[in-house]
Structure 1
Amino acid sequence: MSQRLALFGDLLDIEVDPGFAAPGDAAGVRYRPDHWLLVEDGRIVGAEPARAGSGPDASWQRVDHAGRLITPGFIDTHVHCPQLDVIASYGTALLEWLNTYTFPAELRYADPLVAASGAERFVDALLAHGTTSAVVFPTVHKGATEALFTSARARGMRLVAGKVLMDRHAPDGLRDDVLQAERDCADLIARWHGNGRLSYAVTVRFAATSTPEQLAMAGRLCREHPGVYMQTHVAENTDEVRWIAELFPEARSYLDVYHRHGLLHERAVLAHGIWLDDTDRALLRDTGAQIAFCPSSNLFLGSGLFDWQAAVDTGYRVSMASDVGGGTSLSMLRTLADAYKVQALRGVKLSAWKALHAATRGAAEALGLAHEMGHLGHGALADLAVWDWAVGPVATHRDAVARRGRAGVSPLTALHERVFAWMTLGDERNLVATYVAGACRHERG
């Protein structure tokens, strides 16, 4: 017998990339207040407006979220599982951050009990922030990767992850070797890639911590296992960029290091991409790779201001990422609010529509998964988040003012004012419930 769930609330998703259009001129915004969202066997099968005396019949489990916002679950395209231990650590830039905080935290994941408890805590924390899918760095340890996959599979989540590759410039206990790492990756791919909603990512920490031999091996894995993803970091920090130039003098740029080793393709997710030039941007476009924009982390570590307008002008894809623990919250709402600030410093106004698209359908499209998630369309899996529009007296007052509207503005502009206030003032405290494939995996209180 099929399982039928009907959720009532204000439905919002962004069907196409609205670009940097003015909020009132944006395309693709789908807002359906006071609607039932119909979910059967974990997939969305329709939506219908509330009408007096009508609604889903008794064969549906009805959940009334009247006056609340229902969106697709967020997709975080770059985040580190073990770095919950070091989130909000003081006073360093990227390279010192790795040595002072990150590497010691990751060393602890050699212990299977630490890895298992850390994975459980991490995936539950994602769900408690309204994030239903993520592209994740575990650690160099094979067992820690398996623990992460196990925890995500138990919750039905779409997760992309893979054993971190590092064979130099890292402490004892965090370095692997090329042959054993290749065997470990091949085994993990065979066991986990395509297991439920799990996908494997060949995971190069960053070019500095892999020898040319290991980078070549990573490229070989991508060629020999079509369909796997690749994730790494690129051009985050100016000191890092200079170091890569010293380590790889034959390469034209930091990004070119990865290209030379066959790591740029349509399933490649590269975090940051702040210090790129026009040739790099064209290479991203031509290979189909995407940049995971990490605004909170870039601000916190003082790395720089990502040029999203240049990405749009060139034509490569950008998704949104928390980059915890350099980022200061798993909340994608807080991440999007920081993205607005970064773009404002660059002289660009980021609408709530474009920000939300990049964290939902845009991310799903960049990952090749829009058939499955990122929107509230027919056939998508019901990965959903239910939100209070406002929490606390200030946000509640601001929401009331936005609902009253301003004279002379269009309905879409008026709606944007309300959604932008929710995005800017909201966080995980606004989250009421999170659903993964129609199953409630987090509920407030």
Structure 2
Amino acid sequence: MSAAPPSVLRVRGGRTLSGDVRVPGFKHAFVTVLAGALTGRSTVTIDNCPAIEETRVLLALARDLGAGVRHDGSTVRIDPAGLTGRTLDARLVDRIHGAVYLLPALLARSGRVHLPAAGGCRIGDEGSGARPVRQYAEVLQRFGAEVTVGADGSLTVRADRLTACELDLRDWTSDRELRSGPLYSGATKMAILTAASAHGTTRLRHPYPKPDVTELVRLLDATGRATRHTPEGDVLIEGRPDGGHGRPVRHVLVSDLITVVTWATAAALTKSTVRLTGLTPDRLAAGLAPEIALARAMGLDWRPTADTLELTGEPPTAPVDVTVASHGIYSDSQPFFMLLATMAPGVSHLRETVWRRRFTHVPELRRLGADIEVSDARARVTGGCPPSRPDQSVTGGDLRAAAALLLAALAIPGEVRVGGAAHLVRGYEDLVTDLVRLGADVRAEP
């Protein structure tokens, strides 16, 4: 594992950025594609993998559990043949959230698995911020597994046989009509991964539709677990307890959607020209469609052309009224659109329906001069008041909050201390190094 990242950054803002940035593969898609590869028999080569903490920890877990792993630059080769482990290393699991998706592969191999309490950003609705796990337990139970949930959020799962079933994923939404909520995405992913190894054909109704799911479905289909979409929008997955056809498969990850949103926001805040390269344009445009539409409503143009996207640093020209939902913009995108809204004229409204407590960055942005009020998972942002106060200290409580505060500091002439920067390694290859290379003055505090 790499050295511990800095927890505090000193930023002297007010500088213009200029240059090219290569966008790696999508973090959330890597997690599910790796988990899907471990459910089968095929050796899977994954290209465009992000060099982030989630990747490092998941590969360490896969090795520890017996899988063959080769990691060369942005390419990872997974051979699941030797996967035999039943217990995941608690020290590794505590560093990320994505380890939970290894459960179906291990359960199918050994019939019993124990997952210690997982880590990751503490953005859950509980007072502690702990991420929920009941959706995983309930989905596994529907396939015939016995699940014990520990008081600490650990999971112990047993199953002699996994049997296909029909699931309506709206059962794990907070709003069935809107189809949104903190359990929906995880329940869909767990259902797809478990269906891959179940006996029979599983029908998933109203599944979560984003690229971290669609990339997984593509991978399973390529490895011999046939999938198809019905006219009603259901997904049918033909389970293969034998692990599929066993032939080698190669998968190129879609570009990281939130990295694109991050750099687009950085360009606007600093009035800079930044060129994003290495993009997967068709899948990126499809996955980022809600964000692209919202940006357009604000007067911004984020359309990728070929494998590049030129960001010209134009400021937003209109306020927006948006609901952050599982079928709309990512909850991960919300802090960045909030930053953009501070620059736009008029008053913007942002309603959060996925992670309702995901506003920890608001008091910190207010400390930097933004005019934002939050009530009952709704934020009211008065435009024309972007971050402007130097000589402040702010702290990001999670990955995207830390990134948003770092970008806010870049726009402020003078010095700002940004704490919580250690979160950044779980979502960005090296955001600070890229910013410095493009002209920012960002230094780790000794």
**Shorter-chain TM-score category?**
0.3 to 0.5
Normalised TM-score (structure 2): 0.34
Normalised TM-score (structure 1): 0.34
Structure with the larger helix share: 1
